[in-house]
Amino acid sequence: MSEVNLNIETGTKQRGFIQCAELEDGSPVIIPYFIVRGVSKKPVLLLNAAIHGEELNGIEVINRVFEKINPMELHGTIIGVPVVNTPAFRARNRLDPIDGKNLNRVFPGEKNGTTTERIAYYFFNKFVKKATFGIDLHTGSKGHLLVPHPRIRTLDDFTPVLEYPRALGTEFIFQSKGEKGMLNIEAGKIGIPIVCFEIGVAGILDEYYIKAGLKGVMNFMKYFGMIKGIPEIPKQQVLLKDYQEIVSQIGGLFYPRVKAGDVVKKNQLLGVTKSPFTGEKHYVRAPDDCYIVGIRSQPVVRQGTAVVWLMTFEKGNILPPLRKNDLKNLSSKMVTQTREKGIKITE
């Protein structure tokens, strides 16, 4: 059970799993997967979720792709891996609590390493290397709600191609400096573009974010000709690069005053932390004109807990339209809001 066979019959779906490590009691650590084989073999799209075990929305996105796709109407192959990090998933945790390693920092993995390093090794070698491209579904951690968006990372001389994250059809693309061992960095370096796609918050299944995730995946497949249909992509997609975390200055309960996805002006009130112990209040204000990427959704905070995640427009820019003929161009809520508020984004 350690080989992933893509050569199944044309127009069929199949489920399987591979074994990648052994636990204390001899039980195996497995990676479950499915294959949907369309009328042609290529391209091969890898869809995976739960590299962090508590990030659930992507699991349901992948379930729905499996149920929804008619293989006779698919060009190419889909490999779906709904849960990559099964020990962390079992523990309802971000990481495997026993080895404590972050799976998204140890790619391409280690064949003789710890459980997490072995999962990375098998996932990278048995799945990622078979793919033409992929979408790696994530959410924010517990209490860290993220508006749907792709994250691209640069490292040293590695810069990802923007067309892949743009094909999801979100209003903005998040760019930051990555770290060694991240899936999108390590796969990108060997020429396999994997788009990290953030949808919502860990620990719950949320229909709004599941639908946004599914829409992104479908847009991507339409854009690259795997399924019929016209992808819906905003005419003006914005690339943002200046990411900031704002922390609470006191402990207590945090009351947000904005939502993830809002455009806000400099000094605008973003939220208040109130201490039920001292009565003290701390007002969190926008450091600049910015876009709210994420907001704390679990109210109990300590001094230093991040409560707002934002990106300024300063280092951002509106990307030139995608060079593709049939796109359903939507207007961008973000761009409209910035114009209404008199905020300029470089074109």
Nearest distance, CB of residue 89 and Zn ion, angstroms: 12
Asked whether position 138 contacts Zn ion by CB under 5 A, the answer is yes
Structure letter (DSSP) for residue 320: P
Whichever of 99 and 289 has its CB closer to Zn ion, that residue is: 99
Of 129, 106, 14, give the one whose Cα is nearest residue 51. 106
Nearest distance, CB of residue 238 and Zn ion, angstroms: 23
Asked if residue 78 lies in contact with residue 35, where contact means CB atoms within 8 angstroms, the answer is yes
Region of 15-23, 40-48, 55-63, 166-174 interacting with Zn ion (CB under 5 A): 55-63
Q: What share of the chain is helix, strand, coil (3-state, %, to 5)?
A: 20, 35, 40
Whichever of 183 and 311 has its CB closer to Zn ion, that residue is: 183
Whichever of 37 and 138 has its CB closer to Zn ion, that residue is: 138
E-strand spans in the chain?
Answer: 12-22, 28-37, 40-49, 75-81, 133-140, 144-154, 172-177, 194-201, 232-234, 238-240, 242-247, 252-256, 263-264, 269-274, 281-285, 290-296, 300-301, 306-312, 317-318, 328-330
Nearest distance, CB of residue 344 and Zn ion, angstroms: 33
Asked if residue 222 lies in contact with residue 295, where contact means CB atoms within 8 angstroms, the answer is no
Tokens at residue 343, please?
């905020």
Nearest distance, CB of residue 227 and Zn ion, angstroms: 26
Asked whether position 153 contacts Zn ion by CB under 5 A, the answer is no
Region of 49-57, 220-228, 283-291, 319-327 interacting with Zn ion (CB under 5 A): 49-57
Asked whether position 118 contacts Zn ion by CB under 5 A, the answer is no
Whichever of 188 and 251 has its CB closer to Zn ion, that residue is: 188
> Three-class SS of residue 252?
strand
Closest residue to Zn ion in the complex (CB): 138
Of 221, 230, 233, 232, give the one whose Cα is nearest residue 74. 221
Nearest distance, CB of residue 75 and Zn ion, angstroms: 30
Site string for Zn ion, 18-37 (x = CB under 5 A): --------------------
The label of the residue with tokens 């974010």 reads 209
Nearest distance, CB of residue 93 and Zn ion, angstroms: 12
Whichever of 144 and 241 has its CB closer to Zn ion, that residue is: 144
Among 52, 126, 166, 215, binds Zn ion (CB under 5 A): 52
- Please, what sign has the CA dihedral across residues 112, 93, 208, 330? negative
Whichever of 182 and 263 has its CB closer to Zn ion, that residue is: 182
Structure letter (DSSP) for residue 8: P
Number of residues that bind Zn ion (CB under 5 A): 3
Whichever of 52 and 153 has its CB closer to Zn ion, that residue is: 52
Neighbours of 26 (CB within 10 A): 6
Region of 106-114, 130-138, 213-221, 323-331 interacting with Zn ion (CB under 5 A): 130-138
Tell me which residues touch Zn ion (CB under 5 A). Answer: 52, 55, 138
